[in-house]
Amino acid sequence: MKSVYVLGLGFILMTLSLCSVRGQSDRIRSAPPADRSAAAVSDEAPDPVPEATLEEMIGQMIMVGLRGHDAAANPLLIEALRLGQAGGVILFEKNLSNDSTAERLQRLTNHLQEVTRFPLLIAIDQEGGRVNRLKAKYGFPDSKTATWLGDMDDCDTTRHYANLIATTLTSLGININFAPVVDLCSNPNNPIIARYGRCFSADPEQVTQHAKWFIDAHHAKRILTTLKHFPGHGSSTRDTHKEMTDVTNLWDPAELIPYRSLIGSGHVDAIMTAHIVHCTLDNQCFPATLSHNIINKLLRDSLGFNGVVITDDMQMHAITKHYGFEESIRLAILAGADILLYSNNIAGSWEHQANVVHRTIKQMVQQGEISEERIRESYQRIVALKKNVYPHFPFPG
């Protein structure tokens, strides 16, 4: 009995010491799993490492959703992975089976990693609460909304639920979470952020602190995280899944505080852009995802972020109702986006396979619309991110 007490006390003291830390993030710098379960990737790097081809670099910039519960439902994606035409996949609830859910999902992620030419980023939106693909009804741990955690405002509680998420993702072979949301709860009637409980608080300092706890818990399990939705979606009045939203007269500079603080403390792996319009930040009124001023000038130059920028879903109607398929690709890449996300999960949007996106980008480079150097910039950022998970894999240079 005494030994149980001592162990319990030790765990409490360890947790309290973790919650007292206010410095640099516990970044993912430990060795990768033995397999790539990320799946079977050799750690023996050839010498010398060849230079990356244009085709290989473009492939790393593409992330797509898939059909069904297994690889058999996705022959075009499997072929694209074999050819290196996609660098990541995103999972949704539609990819979960009703029976043996965890085992079958793990088999799926392992198979995807086995067939791919380069190790994948396997992503999910597992924020907790309403935005929660891995639900308790499938046998996964219960989760809480960010707003509930913000109301509790307790380090141990936020770390506990973040740790449950991160542990689950690790067990399933998922290596990047599209969370935490660092939008402010500035508009309580926001139809896609506050109304769903996706924001921690209206106070940017509180948002920053909970995001740090959330990220640290993920990094402790070797899971990458993604801040969203830059430069701030909390003040919006419309849902960008359905339509464009203009925040020019609603947005507050305080919405940048979590980004500035988390970038400064070294917590940020990747940042996802919003499809919101802000005509003061971009006088051409491009949505942030397509805006050179917002991504390159504000995020990279002003805030000093040199990591990976991921677009929100390029099939959301805020983009597709106003920009064509090719135009949106060209604008996003020229704006500074590194990974283009096509979830194939938006009702009313055309499905876009990785090979089609890949071919379109390659044609733009060949025609001089996008420079190869611009592609190489994104490739190098993506490889640097992946090396946090796969430090010994011989990515082409």
Could you tell me which residues are beta bridge partners of residue 31?
none
CA distances from 20 to 14, 16, 43, 84, 174 (A): 10, 6, 36, 43, 29
| DSSP 8-state class, residue 243 | S
Neighbours of 166 (CB within 10 A): 25
**For strand 270-273 and strand 245-246, is the pairing parallel, antiparallel, or unpaired?**
unpaired
Please give the Cα distance from 56 to 82 (Å, whole number). 11
**Collapsing DSSP states into helix, strand and coil, what is residue 174?**
coil
- One-letter amino acid for residue 103 of the chain: E
CA-atom Rg of the chain in angstroms: 20
Neighbours of 3 (CB within 10 A): 7
Question: Is 241 among the residues known to form the active site?
Answer: yes
**For strand 245-246 and strand 126-128, is the pairing parallel, antiparallel, or unpaired?**
unpaired
CA distances from 56 to 150, 224, 238 (A): 42, 22, 37
Q: What contacts 36, CB < 8 A, 6 or more positions away?
A: 110, 113, 114, 119, 390
First to last CA, the chain: 56
Per DSSP, the residues of 247-294 read: -TTT--GGGGHHHHHHHHTT--SEEEEP-EE-TTT-TT--BGGG-HII
Work out whether the CA dihedral 363, 85, 269, 49 comes out positive or negative: negative
Structure tokens, 331: 């604008």
Q: What contacts 297, CB < 8 A, 6 or more positions away?
A: none
The active-site residue out of 216, 312, 313, 338 is 312
Question: Is 312 among the residues known to form the active site?
Answer: yes
Closest CA to 257 of 232, 285, 281: 232
Cβ contact 186:234 at 8 Å: yes
The active-site residue out of 111, 160, 241, 292 is 241
Please give the Cα distance from 137 to 151 (Å, whole number). 25
Residues marked as catalytic = 241, 312
